[in-house]
Amino acid sequence: MSDEDPAGAWRPFAWFLLRATGFPLSRLLDLADAPPSDGADWEAHLRQSRARLAAELDRDDVAEALFVSNPELADRIASWQRSLAGERRNASDRARERTLLRYLGRFCAKNETTSFFGASALGRFDRVAGAEPLPIADVRGVFVEQWVAQALLTLAAADLAAAGQWKDRPRRAPLTGIDAAGVCSYVARPGEPWFSEALRVDGAVSRALLAAADGTRTRATLIAACEGLASTPEIEPVLSRLESDGFLRPSSRLPNGTADVLEASSDVLRAQPASPARERWLARFTALAALATGFEAARGPRARETEFQAVEDALTSWLGSSPRRHPGSHYASRTAVHEKADRAGRIVGLPAGWADALHAPLTATLDLALAPLVADRLTFRAWFDAQFGRDRELPWGEVCRALDAAGPRFHLAAPPDARALRQAMRGLQSALRQHIEQHLATHGASRPFALPASLIAAQIAPLRALLDQSGVAFSNPDLMPCAAPDGRHAAVLGEAHDQVLLTPSLYPAAPDRDVVLAATRELLSALAAPDRPALVVRRRAAFMAWSPDLGAVALELDADSGQPPDRRAPLAELAIRLTDGGFRFRVTTHAGQRLDVLPLTHGSRTALASRVFPVLPLDLAGWLGGADPDALPRLSLGPLVLHRRRFRVASDAWAHEPRAAISAELLRRAAPDLPRVVFTRPPGEPKPLVIDLANPCALEMLRHEARRAPSLTLIEMLPDPDGLWLCGPGGRHTAELRTVLVRGGGNLPHLLTPNMRPPETEP
């Protein structure tokens, strides 16, 4: 390994996921018609910007994007367009205008919403991006949402049961445990460190029923499996109670993250006895698949509306109600069908040299976050050894409760290495605070501040041996590449996520998805070896939560997994023991097998003990000692931006004036360094709003939000409009990439890049 790639370097998984908007940012900026600072001709400028917004909404691709996002928008658009000819706008017109501007902002500047207007693409670090622009979406796919398939399957089960033709195959519910006394279910109550036992059913019969309920046996065969313990009349009421109290889930309940919900629903029905009712429901699922295919093939807003209406008409007749949910939601998952797309239709790359430039600052940044976690891990081991000793298996929940009760005694257990780590980090915190305070005293917050890389390197170098011995760490932050004007490479560090894998639900339309899934399975297996990788199964409220089988053990938290019973276990039954070789975790699966597992999760505090553990990038403002994040300058480490400039603006300083132009002038007086484009997240707003201060419509929206809050925090858009690197057919797009970086893991060389350097030639 070269000097440029030390043993402690954070190396990325070979694959990344590129997420980008469907429309270039220029679409949003072109709406602007900046008012003069004295307020003259404000209404004329406002009318011009509203007319430009109306013209943008008339474009076929925008109309299609709006329709896919929210089919109910059509009536609001028509009503708002009528207001353009009037002399005045009423409150409803203004509200509709804000809604439309929000959606256009998301299409041009935010990429949480995925569809053809926010497609993703799979990429590799050993590929170099070509100069040609990527299309908005090369491959499209339409999927029926799980919630609507679940509604249909529930009705089908009730229909068959009413005719005496339904044979249920119950399965054990999440967080349902079995012990010597019987069975119990757990809940996570607010403020509690782990799970609380909520309900218990005692007795050997209940234990036997739960142990046999793997989703393959009918009620009759479950009862037969327990007849050695009691008679059928005695077993039936116990089984009924387990069902009514939620210890068992019916076979009509689709597992969380089912990949093909229509096929899975049909499989459940095919397992039922043949009957006219079964055939009728099977035909409906087949018909729904054909309708979804028709919607997928349609192009243009009119054709899509027609095909979408056919889907809704069919579902309305079968469900007896309109197939909609979550009125006003930003996400397309509120409708029965949802679209996702692959941007390029192929594996993409990054600009030559970009990844290599970020290798060193990413390693330093993540090591800063790793050091305090390693100190906690060293302290936890010493505390656990003193509290519980070796080779004693304990429920992880019992350990968590003891940890909370320990209070200061936990930190008193810190060994010398942990104390040295914490002391070194405190010294670095103090030194960085002094540098930042000196910068603020000299230049204020308006000038960006480059963190002293040499100081950080000097502090981290003596700690590297301890960090190298801490196990295998991983992190999966979002990175936003910047096209710096001087040709140098840069990026912004975004939020991190709670899985050690790429987000599968973002690329079901990708042609290469099976290749990257195979690599992901191999990565998880190699990280966890010789144990089984274990992932927490959570309920997903938005988007199609596609969860492929990655060979992992499913630790069910609040949702059912689609894994087979021998790889499915309640998270509440996770157990831990300390051996001479370190901590080991074990679960009892729903099939009754004992498995050694390695939890790969940010949740449940397992990062304190697991030999492979997650690291979240530091919140610099908090880490620096409670510094006000709105008072800091932009902070960067080399070409990596770690903290964007923020501006807290009191609403009474500008938002309550009657004329918007005067408000704009006062806003800039309150925050003179405000860039043209900012983001803000007002109270109650689910996603940040993008605001172009040169656009009177956007300025009105900002003023509306400010009048409902004492102050708003405005965050600079970074990369800014001139720093966007991803080119599409109509201009440059906002984009980010998501990957997994691993520290350590010497057995993964073929899965990780040596550093982040791609070759300098086209593949």
DSSP string, 144-201: E-HHHHHHHHHHHHHHHHHTT------EEPTTEEEETTEEEEEE--TT-SS-EEEEEE
Q: Which residue has the tokens 């002038």?
A: 665
Model confidence over 631-684: pLDDT tens digits?
A: 899 999 999 999 999 999 999 989 888 776 777 778 888 888 899 999 999 988
Residue 171 contacts residue 213 (beta carbons within 8 Å): yes
128: pLDDT confidence band, cut at 50, 70 and 90? confident
Residue 23 contacts residue 117 (beta carbons within 8 Å): yes
- Amino acid in the structure at residue 15: W
| pLDDT recorded at residue 588 | 92
| pLDDT recorded at residue 338 | 84
When pLDDT is averaged across residues 737-758 and rounded to a whole number, the result is: 77
* Residue 584: both structure tokens together: 């080991």
* Residue 626: both structure tokens together: 């409670």
Query: Phi then psi for 128, rounded to 5 degrees?
Result: -110, 135
| Residue 745 confidence (pLDDT) above 90 | no
Q: What percent of the chain has pLDDT over 70?
A: 93
| pLDDT recorded at residue 489 | 82
Does the CA dihedral 419-424-428-430 come out positive or negative? Answer: positive
34: pLDDT confidence band, cut at 50, 70 and 90? low
Closest CA to 21 of 72, 62, 77: 62
| Residue 403 confidence (pLDDT) above 90 | yes
Closest CA to 484 of 610, 257, 638, 657: 638
| pLDDT recorded at residue 441 | 95
When pLDDT is averaged across residues 79-103 and rounded to a whole number, the result is: 88
* Residue 213: both structure tokens together: 């309920």
Q: Beta partners for 120?
A: 19, 342
Q: Is 39 helix (H, G, I), strand (E, B) or coil?
A: coil
Average pLDDT, the chain: 88
Q: How many CA atoms lie within 13 A of 48 on its CB side?
A: 14
| Residue 307 confidence (pLDDT) above 80 | yes
Q: What percent of the chain has pLDDT over 90?
A: 59
Q: Which of 126-135, 420-429, 474-483 shows the lowest per-residue confidence on average (mean pLDDT)? A: 126-135
68: pLDDT confidence band, cut at 50, 70 and 90? confident
Residue 17 contacts residue 122 (beta carbons within 8 Å): yes
| pLDDT recorded at residue 40 | 60
Between 571 and 755, the more confident residue is 571
- Amino acid in the structure at residue 226: C
Cβ within 8 Å of residue 228, ≥6 positions away = none
When pLDDT is averaged across residues 400-406 and rounded to a whole number, the result is: 92
| pLDDT recorded at residue 328 | 43
| Residue 35 confidence (pLDDT) above 60 | no
| Residue 758 confidence (pLDDT) above 50 | no
235: pLDDT confidence band, cut at 50, 70 and 90? very high
761: pLDDT confidence band, cut at 50, 70 and 90? very low
Task: Name the H helices within 389-415.
Answer: 396-406, 408-412
